[in-house]
Amino acid sequence: MSDSIITVENLSKRYLIGHRTRGEGLRHAIENAVRAPQQWFKQRQKKRAAATEEFWALKDISFQINRGDVVGIIGRNGAGKSTLLKILSRITEPTSGRITLDGRVASLLEVGTGFHAELTGRENVFLNGTILGMSRVEIKKKFDEIVAFSEIEAFIDTPVKRYSSGMYVRLAFAVAAHLEPEILIVDEVLAVGDAEFQKKCLGKMKTVAGHGRTVLFVSHNMTAISNLCSKAILLEKGRLTKLGEVPEVSKAYAASYKGKEFANLLEHPERMGEGKVQFTKLWIEDKNQNTLDRVLSGQEVVIAAEYKSKENQTLRKVRASFGITDSVGQILFLASTELTSPGIHDFPPEGIIRCLIPRFPLSGSEYQISPYFEVDGVMQDLIEAAATILVEDGDFYGSGKLYPPGWQGKGVLVDHQWTLPKA
């Protein structure tokens, strides 16, 4: 008898992306429709087809997960992780293929998943339990435990529309983890919570798994994946490229960065600024200009970017910066020429700027780099989250200790010293 609790067979999900096209104008459209309606209709159909692009978020995914497995799902942004979880949670229908789930599923994919904004926290606990197929008596038995875990006792009878994002996450996770689903699906929504609560959630997921239930966990935090999961799935551009033990999948994930420029920015569609000067490439390297595929906390790192002007003349009063953000877009630090190299800087029409960070101050996770270029007080180019930087935990403090589980990906590492009393 098979012990499989999740079976995914040839799963694909396609989206149609529309692109704006220039219209012919209302007056001309009416004239053409009246003069030659069939020809006008055919032309409209062709234009619509040309303006629509297929995007496969998932393509021919197949795997099996056994009862009691704790599986991490990893991959770069846009790899298809969240789409896969939405399909497994029955939120999104697949384009083709099928999934088989042998048990109740509780999912936490985004803040407030499954909550009704007008209902109180108490009412939402009972609503979620009912959706999971539990009786009112069963939910009552778990209620006090859920509220205690969420630490929002004072607000349990307040409508959840008045909750902060942190309160949403606390209650939503408590409900999902305590109402005894056979399958618990958790996206990196926990990034909204504070570090102590993240640690608490990871501990609860370990407990859930220890009771023979199955956990699927999406995270960019490889330390959390390693501590919690027994297996991992690697997705790249909508395809499953690796399934197996965490160390080997983690190694394949890191290797996918190796030897590659982090971003070719020539055709990047989402950028801001006047555009007379634009970034063309972005990557990271060591001080000897060897390209790096990943970074250790505390390592000496250089962020490098190539730029090019559309005009062959000296660029006056240049200001450049690299902003580093976390998975929810929070700026963690800004490296700017204005801060550490103040003064007037004139650049050639094209070249490479490099920023040396002597001890990279972030813990193990994935972060985004946003390059900025300004000339004579005018923003020329800004690309938010232009590239991803993969960081692994290192001995930043030289103490032989790594960042504690549940704290990775939050805040900045800073040198500090203690003066402690003696007994």
Entry pTM = 0.60
- Does residue 419 lie in a domain region? no
216 and 104 belong to one structural domain:
yes
195 and 286 belong to one structural domain:
no
247 pLDDT exceeds 60? yes
Beta-strand (E) ranges in 82-150? 96-101, 105-108
Predicted pLDDT at 260: 47
The per-residue pLDDT for range 250-271, each reduced to its tens digit, is 878 766 655 444 578 887 777 8
Between 45 and 89, name the one with better pLDDT: 89
Predicted pLDDT at 407: 59
Residues sharing a CB contact under 8 Å with residue 299, sequence separation 6 or more, in sequence order: 359, 360, 394
Residues found in the chain: 423
The percentage of the chain sitting over the pLDDT mark of 70, rounded to a whole number, equals 81
- Does residue 399 lie in a domain region? no
93 and 163 belong to one structural domain:
yes
268 and 250 belong to one structural domain:
no
Split into its structural domains, the chain has a count of 2
Query: pLDDT band at 35, cuts 50/70/90?
Result: low
- Does residue 413 lie in a domain region? no
- Does residue 366 lie in a domain region? yes
The per-residue pLDDT for range 266-320, each reduced to its tens digit, is 877 778 888 899 999 999 999 888 988 889 889 999 999 999 999 999 999 999 9
CATH number of residue 303's parent domain = 2.70.50.60
From the list 41, 57, 37, the residue with the least C-alpha distance to 49 is: 41
Q: Which of 255, 274, 307 is the last residue of a domain?
A: 255
391 pLDDT exceeds 80? yes
Q: Over the range 39-71, which residues count as b (16 or more CB within 10 Å of their CB) and which as e?
A: ebeeeeeeeeeeeeeeebbbbebebebebbbbb
DSSP string, 99-118: EEE-S-EEEE-STTTT--TT
Between 158 and 269, name the one with better pLDDT: 158
301 and 239 belong to one structural domain:
no
Domain that holds residue 271: 263-392
Between 226 and 333, name the one with better pLDDT: 333
Between 311 and 27, name the one with better pLDDT: 311
277 and 135 belong to one structural domain:
no
Highest-pLDDT range among 40-49, 69-78, 174-183, 350-359? 350-359
- Does residue 328 lie in a domain region? yes
Q: Which of 255, 285, 311 is the last residue of a domain?
A: 255
73 and 194 belong to one structural domain:
yes
The per-residue pLDDT for range 67-108, each reduced to its tens digit, is 888 899 988 767 888 889 889 888 889 999 999 988 888 777
151 and 276 belong to one structural domain:
no
- Does residue 69 lie in a domain region? yes
Give, for 43, the enclosing helix (H) or strand (E).
Answer: helix 37-50
Q: Which of 235, 255, 275 is the last residue of a domain?
A: 255
Q: Which tokens is 411 given? A: 């805040």
215 and 343 belong to one structural domain:
no
- Other CB atoms within 10 Å distance of the CB of residue 26: 8
- Does residue 370 lie in a domain region? yes
Highest-pLDDT range among 21-35, 238-252, 298-312, 359-373? 298-312
Average pLDDT, the chain: 82
290 and 329 belong to one structural domain:
yes
Would you give the DSSP letter of residue 403? Answer: P
CATH number of residue 98's parent domain = 3.40.50.300
200 and 100 belong to one structural domain:
yes
**What is the C-alpha separation between 136 and 302, in angstroms, rounded?**
58
231 and 293 belong to one structural domain:
no
- Does residue 93 lie in a domain region? yes
